[in-house]
Amino acid sequence: MSSGQPWALEFGLGLDFWAAATFFGHYGITVSTMAGLVRDGKDAPLKLYGWQRAFLRWLEPRLSRQHCALALQSDVKRCKDALSIMGVQP
């Protein structure tokens, strides 16, 4: 299933999901979202190690605040879309 986005954008998103799963142990959430959550002090549910939190704190200023906010919105939308496909009300 394609999202209709250019292949380079989809490839980048795939790499982002891979990095989130490989280095942070979280699936379906982007590194940018995690960086924003760390910045806002809302990362407790992620149960990150100190080195992971330190990396995200280092990364976040290199991303724009708007980028992290849009990443969060996109992650939530993908989650809701997946639930809808499965017939579960979000």
Return the domain boundaries, the chain: 7-80
Token digits of residue 39: 């910045």
pLDDT of res. 11: 93
- pLDDT digit string (tens) for the chain, length 90 residues: 556 678 888 898 999 999 999 999 999 899 999 999 999 999 999 999 999 999 999 999 999 999 999 999 999 999 999 999 999 876
pLDDT of res. 4: 66
- Please provide the distance, in angstroms rounded to a whole number, between the alpha carbons at the two ends of the chain: 21
Angle at 31 between CA 75 and CA 7, to 5 degrees: 70
Distance of CA 40 to the CA centre of its chain: 14
Q: Which DSSP category does 69 fall into?
A: H
Residue listed under structure tokens 């849009």:
70
- What's the alpha-carbon Rg for the chain, to the nearest Å? 14
**pTM of this prediction?**
0.85
